[in-house]
Amino acid sequence: MIGLHGDPLPKSLAEAMHGHLNHNRRRIDVKTACGAQHDVFHYFRSSSKLTVLLSIWSFNRFELLKCNLRHLSLMDVVDSIHIVWHKPTDPIPADFILHGKFVRFHQAQYDSLNNRFVPPPNIGTNAVLVLDDDIFVHEHDVNALFQAWRLNQAKIVGFFPRWLYRTWYSTYNNNQTYEAILTKAMVLSKQYLLDYTCNLNERVRRVVSMYRNCEDIAMNFVLASVGESSLFVSPKFQIHDIGAYLTGSLFKANGHIETRSRCLRAFNRFTKTFPRSSYYFVDAADNNTLVSTSSESFQHAPGNAFTDLKYLSCNQTLLFSTTRPQTTISEKRGEEPSSTHIVLVHIFRYGCQIAIICVLIRVLRLSHRRISRKGCLILRNK
């Protein structure tokens, strides 16, 4: 079978596209991951490369995943690629080797966004690049991200900063700091995967499963629990977020910002720490220079789009556009709630709760009166 740019696809991947799948699933689960925190790879991990950890739910976006695997496997800095398959009932593709890189599939035992941080066995590097299946990053910026992490190994380093407040979540920058890095594309230590999976407050993990959202915010709370802040890297090239143009994207869902705000309030109740503000970022377009967030460049950080679509080694050119407008980290995807809006939302919420309580009290009183009257009538008849 001929694949991207006319190159033969690995046999297992070609078979997967025709339905000949691997039914001997490799499962990942919390108990196994936490019980094998110090396997043999713990003592022989490479510090010069990174492991890619991708997530996919089902075969609905398999073509997109295939494109990304091809793109990532061509990078020298990548040691191996692991894919977490979230749909537990699917047969999954068999493992294969692509451009000298192991590509391994791991299936979750149940569907939860917490599974994207369960560390797969046999991770042979200290650094892990957590990446969405619909995010395409230029190799220059992947290298820049990795180099920034090597100098700041206690931090989470990534391309997508966000602003957290005690009671709400924001995609819009209205100050000169940031508090969180999204898991769309970030590098972190494998230890943080273990901390999230094995040591994070179970109530936080339940909130993530319940809302099917907010696992990235929870990971930033893990970082805060050890007293560290995140680090934003401004990419030199435009990052292609294909999910922004696909149906079913989480951020397009109604109430997405409010859902994440609810998560944030819940995490505040369940944990003793809050993600710290960061005052510096790394400019990948300027030799990884450390820049203050008070500078004007912080408001106009990400740079140019890919100039050569062939660089992606993907024949799905319709997914990409060189004419896509440049975006900045302060691009307003969601409305920033004003103070008046926040107050009105709280008044409405608590007003509804009080009204419901009053109705319940009224119903209980009426029920009590009816029971009392029936009791009196019984006594009189006797």
Q: Give per-residue pLDDT as tens, 36-85.
A: 655 545 545 678 899 999 999 878 888 889 999 999 999 999 999 999 99
Q: How far apart are CA 128 and CA 84, in angstroms?
A: 14
Burial of 378 from C-beta contacts in 10 A (0-12 / 13-18 / 19+): exposed
**What are the backbone angles phi and psi of residue 54, rounded to the nearest 5°?**
-105, 160
pLDDT at 326: 38
Rg (Cα) of the chain, in Å, rounded? 25
Q: How far apart are CA 213 and CA 54, in angstroms?
A: 17
Burial of 30 from C-beta contacts in 10 A (0-12 / 13-18 / 19+): middle
Structure tokens that stand for 52 in this block: 């890619």
pLDDT at 176: 73
Percent of the chain with pLDDT over 70: 67
Q: How far apart are CA 80 and CA 64, in angstroms?
A: 18
The string of pLDDT tens digits covering residues 333-368 is 334 444 455 556 557 666 777 888 888 888 888 877
Angle at 271 between CA 347 and CA 265, to 5 degrees: 20
The string of pLDDT tens digits covering residues 267-314 is 989 998 899 988 888 888 887 888 887 766 666 554 333 333 344 445
Q: For the chain, which residues make up each domain, given as ranges?
A: 4-337, 339-382
Report pTM: 0.74
Distances from the Cα of 164 to the Cα of 11, 141, 173, angstroms: 46, 25, 10
pLDDT at 127: 96
Residue spans of alpha helices (H) in the chain: 11-17, 30-35, 62-73, 139-150, 190-194, 202-211, 215-225, 256-270, 339-381
Q: How far apart are CA 196 and CA 291, in angstroms?
A: 30
Q: How far apart are CA 195 and CA 118, in angstroms?
A: 10
Q: What is the CATH number of domain 4-337?
A: 3.90.550.10
The string of pLDDT tens digits covering residues 203-234 is 999 999 999 999 999 999 999 999 999 999 99
Q: How far apart are CA 128 and CA 339, in angstroms?
A: 39
Structure-token match 């797969």, residue found: 120
- The answer on pLDDT for 190 being more than 60 is yes
Burial of 244 from C-beta contacts in 10 A (0-12 / 13-18 / 19+): middle
Contact assessment for residue 334 and residue 170, using Cβ atoms and an 8 Å cutoff: yes
Q: Report the DSSP pairing between strands 101-108 and 27-28.
A: parallel
Structure tokens that stand for 257 in this block: 């910002």
pLDDT at 197: 93
The whole-number average pLDDT for the span 13-31 is 56
Q: Report the DSSP pairing between strands 96-98 and 101-108.
A: antiparallel
